[in-house]
Amino acid sequence: MCGMAFGSASWAAHAYAQFGDVKYPPGFTHFDYVNPDAPKGGEIRLVPPIAVTNFDKFNPFTLKGTAPAGMLELVFESLLAGNSEEPSTGYGLLAEDVSVSPDGLSATFRIRKEARFSDGSAVGAADVVHSFNTLVSKQASPQFRTIFADIKAVRALGERLVQFDFASPNRELPLLAGSIPVFSRKWGAGKSFDAVITDLPIASGPYRPSSAQLGRDVTYLRDKNYWGAALPVRKGQYNFDRITYKLYLDDTSRFEGLKAGEYDLKREFVSKNWARQYKGKAFDSGAVKKQVFEHRNPGDFQGYTFNLRNPKFQDIRVRKAIALTMDFEWLNRQMFYGLYKRVEGYFPNSEFHASGLPGPAEMALLEPLRNKLRPEVFGPALLSSSTLPPSSLRDNLRMAKKLLAEAGWVYRDGALRNAQGEAFQMEYLNSQPSSVRLVIPMQIALKKLGIDLKIRNVDGALYQQRMDEFEFELGSLRIPGRSSPGSDLFEYFGSKAAATPGSANMWGIADPAVDSLIRSVLSATTKSDVSAAMRALDRVLSHGYYSIPQWYSDEFFVGYRPAGFVLPPTIPPFYQPDSWAAATWWASTSNR
User: Residue 422 CB: number of other CB atoms within 10 A?
Assistant: 12
Task: Read off φ and ψ for residue 163, nearest 5 degrees.
Answer: -120, 135
Helix (H) or strand (E) holding 509: none
Q: What is the pLDDT along the chain (592 residues), one digit of tens a residue?
A: 344 444 443 446 999 998 878 999 999 999 999 999 999 999 999 998 776 778 999 999 999 998 999 999 999 999 999 999 998 899 999 999 999 999 999 999 999 999 999 999 999 999 999 999 999 999 999 989 988 999 999 999 999 999 999 998 888 899 999 999 999 999 999 999 999 999 999 999 999 999 888 888 999 999 999 999 999 999 999 999 999 999 998 888 999 999 999 999 999 988 889 999 999 999 999 999 999 999 988 888 999 999 999 999 999 999 999 999 999 999 999 999 999 999 999 999 899 999 999 999 999 999 999 999 999 999 999 999 999 999 999 999 999 999 999 999 999 999 999 999 999 999 999 998 888 999 999 999 999 999 999 999 998 889 989 999 999 999 999 888 877 788 889 999 999 999 999 899 999 999 999 999 999 998 888 889 999 999 999 999 999 999 999 999 889 999 999 999 999 999 999 999 999 999 999 999 878 8
pLDDT for res 546: 98
Helix (H) or strand (E) holding 496: helix 495-498
CA 499, CA 376: separation in Å to the nearest integer?
27
Q: For the chain, how big is the Rg over CA atoms in Å?
A: 25
* Cβ atoms of 487 and 149 closer than 8 Å: yes
Q: What is the pLDDT of residues 274-311, one digit of tens each?
A: 999 999 999 999 999 999 999 988 888 999 999 999 99
pLDDT for res 184: 98
CA 296, CA 325: separation in Å to the nearest integer?
31
CA 533, CA 516: separation in Å to the nearest integer?
10
**Beta-bridge partners for 496:** none
CA 177, CA 34: separation in Å to the nearest integer?
26
CA 382, CA 320: separation in Å to the nearest integer?
12
CA 467, CA 307: separation in Å to the nearest integer?
10
CA 258, CA 46: separation in Å to the nearest integer?
9
Closest CA to 45 of 202, 325, 277, 248: 248
Closest CA to 237 of 558, 580, 590: 580
Q: What is the DSSP string of 411-442?
A: EETTEEE-TT--B-EEEEEES-GGGHHHHHHH
pLDDT for res 486: 81
CA 345, CA 348: separation in Å to the nearest integer?
6
Beta strands 218-222; 207-209: pairing state: antiparallel
pLDDT for res 8: 40
pLDDT for res 10: 41
pLDDT for res 77: 98
User: Residue 412 CB: number of other CB atoms within 10 A?
Assistant: 10
- For the chain, list the domains and their CATH numbers: 1-30+77-204 (3.40.190.10), 40-52+206-297+554-592 (3.40.190.10), 301-552 (3.10.105.10)
Sign of the CA dihedral running 49, 55, 58, 61:
negative
* Cβ atoms of 47 and 247 closer than 8 Å: yes
> 225-232: long-range contacts (C-beta < 8 A, 24 or more apart)?
227/114, 227/115, 227/116, 228/77, 228/93, 228/114, 228/115, 228/204, 231/93, 232/24, 232/28, 232/29, 232/30, 232/31, 232/91
* Cβ atoms of 121 and 186 closer than 8 Å: yes
Quote the percentage of the chain above a pLDDT of 70: 98
Task: Read off φ and ψ for residue 138, nearest 5 degrees.
Answer: -75, -5
* Cβ atoms of 343 and 549 closer than 8 Å: yes
CA 569, CA 297: separation in Å to the nearest integer?
19
pLDDT for res 36: 97
pLDDT for res 12: 65
User: Residue 1 CB: number of other CB atoms within 10 A?
Assistant: 12
Q: What is the DSSP string of 315-366?
A: SHHHHHHHHTT--HHHHHHHTSTT--EE--SSSTTSTT---SS--HHHHHHH
**Beta-bridge partners for 46:** 245
Q: What is the pLDDT of residues 545-580, one digit of tens each?
A: 999 999 998 899 999 999 999 999 999 999 999 999
Q: Strand, helix or coil at 493?
A: helix
pLDDT for res 484: 78
pLDDT for res 51: 67
Q: Strand, helix or coil at 581?
A: helix
* Cβ atoms of 280 and 258 closer than 8 Å: no
* Cβ atoms of 488 and 496 closer than 8 Å: no
* Residues in CB range of 387: below 8 A, 6 or more apart: 327, 328, 329, 330, 393, 396
Q: What is the pLDDT of residues 468-492, one digit of tens each?
A: 999 999 999 988 887 778 888 999 9
pTM above 0.85, yes or no: no
CA distances 521 to 171, 203, 220, Å, are: 10, 33, 38
- Environment class of residue 483 by beta-carbon count within 10 Å: exposed (0-12), middle (13-18) or buried (19+)? middle
CA 78, CA 27: separation in Å to the nearest integer?
20
Give buried/exposed letters for 141-159 (b at 16+ CB in 10 A, else e).
Answer: bbbbbbbbbbbeebebeee
pLDDT for res 424: 97
User: Residue 77 CB: number of other CB atoms within 10 A?
Assistant: 25
pLDDT for res 223: 96
Q: What is the DSSP string of 148-214?
A: TTTEEEEEESSSSEEEEEESS--TTHHHHHHTS-B--TTTTTTS-GGG--SSPP---SSEEES-S--
CA 411, CA 418: separation in Å to the nearest integer?
9
CA 117, CA 119: separation in Å to the nearest integer?
5
How many residues would you count in the chain?
Answer: 592
* Cβ atoms of 474 and 429 closer than 8 Å: yes
pLDDT for res 383: 94
CA 439, CA 427: separation in Å to the nearest integer?
11
